[in-house]
Structure 1
Amino acid sequence: MTDAPKSAARAARLVIVALAAVAAFARPVGADQSSTSAPLKSPADFSSISNTSERSRAIFNEIGKVVMNPRRMNCHPAGDHPTQGDDFHEHMPPIWRAETGHFEANCSGCHGSHNVTLLEAASYRSIPGHPRWGFAPMSMAWQGKSLGEICRQLKDVQANGGRDLAALQEHVAKDDLVGWAWNPGEGRRPAPGSQQAAGELVQAWIDSGAECPR
């Protein structure tokens, strides 16, 4: 096959992928898909817990409202196919995990550098976007785990991208890909609170001993 037919075939595949993405994302927004973010407690709300370990675990339970939220859990899939939406339905177009633990996908074929609204924001979803859009590898999978298991995984530098606690706090507080969870585009409920509030909670959790829920 010459270069021209190859290019034409590749373009046709991209068109098919884009149309499938529109079909997946351009669905009417249900009543449960509010654009309002639920609040998070502040570190001060836990100051009455005198036992430091108990206070640390209580703070991480509050952090869990972000960790277990679909905006974050969908980014850390455990199966061979990633999920999307508040109901964790299988990603469309279909994507498969390679033997390396990463997903074999050209994410930029559908996901650009920013969120894109498809039609009128009040009625249809948008396609999420970010310059580093993608899914976490299997070593960072969260789905199917308890909050305590995820907490211990987050503390394990072998399973969290090589981050110590300080780097983990900076990742939560300042990484703009993490920040997407609070600006997920039309038709998606943001993660609770704000990125700043989540970062403050993580710091308070670290300061109180970084204890994990049992």
Structure 2
Amino acid sequence: MTATRLTTILAATLLAAPLAAQEEVNGLKTPAAFESISDETERSVAIFEEMLVVFQHPRCMNCHPAGDTPLQGDDMQPHQPPVVRGASDFGAPGMRCNTCHGAENVAYTTGEGSIPGHEPWQLAPIETAWVGKSPAEICAQIQDEERNRGKTMAELHEHNAEDGLVGWGWHPGEGRTPVPGTQEVFGQLTQAWIDTGAACPQG
């Protein structure tokens, strides 16, 4: 068998390998990458720390600000034009989020970039603010039903794995860096974290 033929077969095998067997997808580790950690609590913490790659990415943090002003860009600058959260996280009367943000991303007609879009488009509730929080604080926060809008762990998994606005982070439109990995892998990490006891890092 020629080297070229062998390379082709190996490449096809890797492409056909089920996601569960891969240890990394687009820069995000999968649960398989943590199987060698024998202590379940240590494995759970390690999985959560990988989930932080998503939680702490600008695509997610920009919509989980500590105050009433959304952030934008990879450098997480205050939203321009200036807008505020509003009473229901959809913006102030007369300047709702959907005034500019439609149901899908829209590329600029001139120049580079795009206006992000999804239906609905809104800020995350202030109770779920992540900016300025430590990994331990974020971990405790997302499990606390008084601060996560009453989500059970099963509902948290569903949110991470299937919610469309969460999924937007992987398809943010021209001019934005997508979140590493895929939403599918993020959902798998969430479930693996839950299955190993949903342990939190210290400090």
How far, CA to CA, are the matches of 2:68 and 2:50 in structure 1? Answer: 29
How far, CA to CA, are the matches of 2:85 and 2:190 in structure 1? Answer: 30
Q: How far did residue 38 of structure 1 move?
A: 4.3
Deviations 1:87-144 (A, max 9, x none): 011101111244x584424111100000000036xx5110000111010121111111
Residues 191-202 of structure 1 mapped to structure 2, 5 A cutoff: 191-202=179-190
How far, CA to CA, are the matches of 1:58 and 1:211 in structure 2? Answer: 9
How far, CA to CA, are the matches of 1:38 and 1:119 in structure 2? Answer: 30
How far, CA to CA, are the matches of 2:33 and 2:133 in structure 1? Answer: 27
77-86 or 61-70, which deviates more: 77-86
| Correspondent of 1:81 among 69, 77, 80 | 69
Give the aligned CA root-mean-square deviation in angstroms. 1.5
Q: Equivalent residue for 2:100? A: 110
| Correspondent of 2:173 among 178, 185, 194 | 185
Q: How far did residue 81 of structure 1 move?
A: 1.8
Percent identity reads 53
Structure with bigger RCO (C-alpha 8 Å, 6+ apart)? 1
Check if 1:52 corresponds to 2:40.
yes
| Correspondent of 1:151 among 139, 155, 161 | 139
Deviating 4+ runs (over 6 angstroms): none
1:111–1:133 contact (8 Å) kept in structure 2: yes
1:78–1:143 contact (8 Å) kept in structure 2: yes
How many equivalent residue pairs? Answer: 175
2:64–2:123 contact (8 Å) kept in structure 1: yes
How far, CA to CA, are the matches of 2:166 and 2:85 in structure 1? Answer: 22
| TM-score of the pair, normalised by structure 2 | 0.82
SS of residue matched to 2:155: helix
Gap runs ≥5 in structure 2: 1-24
How far, CA to CA, are the matches of 1:42 and 1:211 in structure 2? Answer: 17
| TM-score of the pair, normalised by structure 1 | 0.78
Residues 19-168 of structure 1 mapped to structure 2, 5 A cutoff: 38-98=26-86, 100=87, 102=89, 103-104=91-92, 105-119=95-109, 124-168=112-156
